[in-house]
Amino acid sequence: MVESALRQARREDREAFILYAIEGFTIREISATTDRSLDQVRASISAARDRLQKSLPVSTWRDKLLLHSKTA
């Protein structure tokens, strides 16, 4: 379901969100790996999180994933 919901996100947003929320990379690590600023990475994570929030059905699993990614 996450993959389907993120399919509509921009590639940069999807990549940053997956690296952060699922793979456990820090914002700084993602910035260095993708050659993007910290603010750009945070904005991408936020955009992907917003897309997921609108696309996924209400569930405890969705809420936990979104809560974890909110710290970016």
Can you give the pTM of this predicted structure?
0.75
Rounded mean pLDDT of 47-63?
Answer: 75
Q: How far apart are CA 38 and CA 5, in angstroms?
A: 24
Look up residue 46 and give its amino acid: S
Please report, rounded to a whole number, the percentage of residues in the chain having pLDDT higher than 90.
51
**Position 25 pLDDT exceeds 90:** yes
Distance from C-alpha of 33 to C-alpha of 3, rounded to nearest angstrom: 22
48 pLDDT tier (thresholds 50, 70, 90): very high
| Residue-level pLDDT at 27 | 97
**Model confidence at 60: pLDDT above 80:** no
